[in-house]
Amino acid sequence: MTHDYLQVDDLLTDEDRAIRDTVRDFAQTELAPHVAEWYDEGTLPDGLGPMFGKLGLLGMHLEGYDCAGTSATAYGVACRELEAVDSGLRSFVSVQGSLAMFGIHRWGSDAHKDQWLPRMAAGDAIGCFGLTESDAGSDPGSMKTHARQDGTDWVLNGSKMWITNGTFADVAVVWAQTDDGIRGFVVPTDTKGFEAHKIKRKLSLRASVTAELSFDDLRLPADAAFPEVRGLKGPLSCLNEARFGIVWGVVGAARACLEEALAYTGEREQFGRPLSSFQLTQRKLALMAVAVNNASLVAWRLGALKDAGTLTPTQVSYGKYANVRAALDVAREARTTLGGAGITLDHTVMRHMNNLETVMTYEGTEEMHLLSVGADLTGIPAFR
Ligand SMILES: Cc1cc2nc3c(=O)[nH]c(=O)nc-3n(C[C@H](O)[C@H](O)[C@H](O)COP(=O)(O)OP(=O)(O)OC[C@H]3O[C@@H](n4cnc5c(N)ncnc54)[C@H](O)[C@@H]3O)c2cc1C
């Protein structure tokens, strides 16, 4: 990492560093030149899945089923390098690997795993994860989507909102109420009764497809349900995985903003001097550098804890809150240093800033993560 004042990347293993370099090279050469156009059009090109799959980025830290089986830290580093280009691209990989694939890997039957995971690891099958509903966001336990048994079949009715990759997914992991509590279902998206509609007019995470899903008497065989897990424990375990990727990913977005602010203010002159020579600008740059480095250290530490198998959900909430807030503040400050130029897609700062508004909201809002830490500190859950 440039300006790695705490030398965090020295703490990575050789393998993690090799993965960092490969993903960075791929992201900067194959993704960065096109991302402003994708963002402008509010879409993603076909074929990203197999490209990510070839690099081993999908379900990267999962074992078996053709997944790369890397350390959690290596997965984090990959998220960082992808999100240095755009949060939407990291979201694609997060939803595929940490939400859909992890869900199937952790809670699916052997048949689910055999059917889906190798194809998903290769990027030949894309997954999405349906938890949120229009009336059930921060409080997913109030979801209305339900599955009832009809003979041995399940019949699914309801809808899901804000579902990343929803329109082009081959398989959806859908969480629904049943007589036996909330359960997860593996739903091939070509099943009769499944519909996905793209959500338009987004001002954030535009290089990512977000959809509303609906299920109308969608009939599934008995074995479509995850066999064991009941209640919110299932979806929350997946979210915990994806949040870990965010803790790392946003360091990349913040770093990219710092780098752009440094480059721009070093070049542009006002009052006969480069912007970077003004004390107020240097203060901004220094504060950004401190924030990026501190966030990097938080990410590394959480990676070490995850690799040691001791990472707790409260620690993930801490990291998600701290790093997303830091990255958003860095992006906003970086944008000011570019003046008017900073509001265009010719530069990255405002694209990152807008993206980070979504990152602050999804996978548990900033408020939810602070409440989680608050509950841990006080022993009093204040969610309701
Ligand atoms: C681009 C995008 C992609 C997404 N992708 C997915 C996906 O793939 N799959 C999926 O299932 N979901 C996805 N989501 C949904 C996301 O997880 C939810 O938007 C998020 O959980 C917040 O829910 P909500 O939007 O309903 O907001 P609400 O829950 O209505 O919250 C609105 C505000 O109220 C605050 N609030 C709520 N309850 C409390 C409380 N008790 N105390 C204090 N403040 C509170 C919140 O913190 C927030 O600030 C995505 C969202 C976006 C924007």
Nearest protein CA to atom 30 of ligand 1, as residue: 137
Q: Which domains does the chain have, with CATH numbers?
A: 8-122 (1.10.540.10), 127-224 (2.40.110.10), 233-378 (1.20.140.10)
Cβ of 42 less than 6 Å from ligand 1: no
Residue-averaged pLDDT of the chain:
97
Residues 206-261 pLDDT 10s: 999 999 999 999 999 999 999 999 999 999 999 999 999 999 999 999 999 999 99
CA of 379 to the centre of ligand 1 (A): 24
Q: What distance in Å separates the CA atoms of residue 98 and residue 281, rounded to the nearest whole number?
A: 39
- Please say whether the beta carbons of 241 and 364 come within 8 A: no
Residues 140-194 pLDDT 10s: 999 999 999 999 999 999 999 999 999 999 999 999 999 999 999 999 999 999 9
- Annotated catalytic residue within 259, 333, 363, 367: 363
Q: What DSSP designation does 363 have?
A: S
pLDDT (mean) for 103-121: 98
CA of 292 to the centre of ligand 1 (A): 25
- Answer whether residue 2 shows pLDDT above 80: no
- Answer whether residue 199 shows pLDDT above 70: yes
pLDDT (mean) for 17-23: 97
Q: What is the pLDDT of residue 381?
A: 96
- Please say whether the beta carbons of 128 and 100 come within 8 A: yes
- Please say whether the beta carbons of 235 and 175 come within 8 A: yes
Q: What is the pLDDT of residue 352?
A: 98
Contacts of 379 (CB under 8 A, 6+ apart): none
**Active site (annotated) includes residue 259:** no
Nearest protein CA to atom 41 of ligand 1, as residue: 383
CA atoms within 13 A on the CB side of 349: 25
Q: What is the pLDDT of residue 55?
A: 97
Q: Which atom of ligand 1 is nearest to the CA of 165?
A: 8
- Answer whether residue 98 shows pLDDT above 70: yes
pLDDT (mean) for 267-287: 98
pLDDT (mean) for 354-362: 98
Q: What is the pLDDT of residue 1?
A: 62
Tokens 């990575």, located at residue:
12
pLDDT (mean) for 80-104: 98
Cβ of 296 less than 6 Å from ligand 1: no
Q: What distance in Å separates the CA atoms of residue 239 and residue 59, rounded to the nearest whole number?
A: 14
pLDDT (mean) for 252-276: 98
CA of 134 to the centre of ligand 1 (A): 9
Residues above pLDDT 70, as percent of the chain: 100
CA terminus-to-terminus distance, the chain: 42
| Structure-block tokens of residue 283 | 């203060």
Residue count of the chain, please give it: 384
Cβ of 205 less than 6 Å from ligand 1: yes
Cβ of 167 less than 6 Å from ligand 1: no
